[in-house]
Structure 1
């Protein structure tokens, strides 16, 4: 999915319910990062895994997926995340992968408005910004990616349940689902 020449080296860690790739972002500072594929549920006899990503906080032993490090290596970090997707499908060939942003939850807008300097009143500019990055990548490379993967677009409703459809280029989805052909 991404050129390996512009990625960080990853270390794989596995457990029964998740797969993790750990790497170090080297820029203005040294930042440990974790890409986490977590089993969330089953859909039509397939395991569904959520792609999570963020800075690793060694004090809390947690992934902080709401932080923007500003480390000056965003493209290399993003390419590293993308480079693990084929590795994920090597381990879980029949799985469905779902990508949603930590900035797409029901409480995000309320939290954002408390500290927002832009004072977005009608719609929050930061809402679903993270999934938009993945969506833009899929849109740009859809033809090539479609040789290997099927894509669905997902919308969340007021009760936070997900409705999916065959991926349509140009739609602003809250989630992207993909699985191998």
Structure 2
């Protein structure tokens, strides 16, 4: 992985069907964040875990994955999320991680328009921003990451099922899946 030394310290919590890591985003506010790996299904004999991330609501033990904190530390938060991947694979060496953007859901644009100040007309400019961020990271670091991980690109079909192929840099995917070599 890229240089992840400038990341927040995480606290690890093992779950019956997954794995959660907590940390505090430090900026104008101290915001508790959580990265959670949740079992989704089997694929090619391996367990697939969705990487979920967002602000943590301790009252309901819930991750708010569409939160935008604007706490001034976005790069450090992103590096922290990335830094949870190697420890996850230490605990689940045969697993597959799946990354999707919470802003890729079919109803996202409609919900965004209710509160967005941008007033997008035809295409919501926030739609697919998060998967684009992950995809850009993979593309920028593909040669190095490819030494350690196999990558698949995923396309969501109308029935919400996922079709996968070997990852092709430059292609627009709805999901990225990867596992250790």
Task: Report the TM range for the smaller structure's normalisation.
Answer: over 0.9
**Which residue does 2:76 correspond to in 1?**
76
* CA drift at 1:33: 0.6
TM-score by length of structure 1 reads: 0.95
CA–CA distance in structure 1, aligned partners of residues 120 and 168 of structure 2: 28
Q: Are 1:175 and 2:175 counterparts?
A: yes
For structure 2, the residue ranges without an aligned partner over 5 or more in a row are none
**Which residue does 1:42 correspond to in 2?**
42
Two-structure CA RMSD over aligned residues (Å) = 1.2
Classify the secondary structure of the residue corresponding to 1:133: helix
CA deviations over 1:39-81 (Å, ceiling 9, x no partner): 1111111100000001111222211110110000001100000
Classify the secondary structure of the residue corresponding to 1:125: coil
User: Matches of residues 1-181 of structure 1 in structure 2 within 5 Å?
Assistant: 1-181=1-181
Say whether the 8 Å CA contact 1:2–1:80 is kept in structure 2.
no
TM-score by length of structure 2 reads: 0.95
CA–CA distance in structure 1, aligned partners of residues 45 and 121 of structure 2: 42
Say whether the 8 Å CA contact 1:3–1:83 is kept in structure 2.
no
Classify the secondary structure of the residue corresponding to 1:63: strand
Deviates more, 1:122-131 or 1:11-20: 122-131
CA–CA distance in structure 1, aligned partners of residues 118 and 27 of structure 2: 28
CA–CA distance in structure 2, aligned partners of residues 155 and 123 of structure 1: 20
CA–CA distance in structure 2, aligned partners of residues 2 and 83 of structure 1: 9
CA deviations over 1:107-151 (Å, ceiling 9, x no partner): 112212233333333322211111111111000000000000000
